[in-house]
Amino acid sequence: EAGVAQSPRYKIIEKRQSVAFWCNPISGHATLYWYQQILGQGPKLLIQFQNNGVVDDSQLPKDRFSAERLKGVDSTLKIQPAKLEDSAVYLCASSLVGGGTGELFFGEGSRLTVL
């Protein structure tokens, strides 16, 4: 079974530039998450989708971050304009709904460096 796919793996940009990350979850997983992981910290939830609807985006800095999951499958996270403090690994995860262990399956992440 293919895992969660993310791209790009690495991105370096100047502050005030924009960047977009892509995620393709495990087939059949209705729930998709974007987490931000700053070096030395645990993952922090940015946004959670159920199919193509937003369940929780309370910690998403909406003045600069946006995310969509238009067809209920893959998702894009955008940052515009980027700030230095956005340097982090952006993790995408997916999970089944309505049963199972509730386990989140993570991708390998997209590492962003803002200069």
Residues of this chain that bind other proteins (CB under 8 A): 4, 31, 35, 40-45, 48, 55-56, 91, 93, 95, 97, 101-109
Residue 18, φ and ψ in degrees, nearest 5: -115, 160
Instruction: Name the residue with tokens 């987490």.
Output: 35
To 10 degrees, the CA torsion angle through 74, 78, 84, 86? -40
Nearer to other proteins, 48 or 82 (CB): 48
At closest approach, how far in Å is the CB of 32 from other proteins? 10
At closest approach, how far in Å is the CB of 85 from other proteins? 18
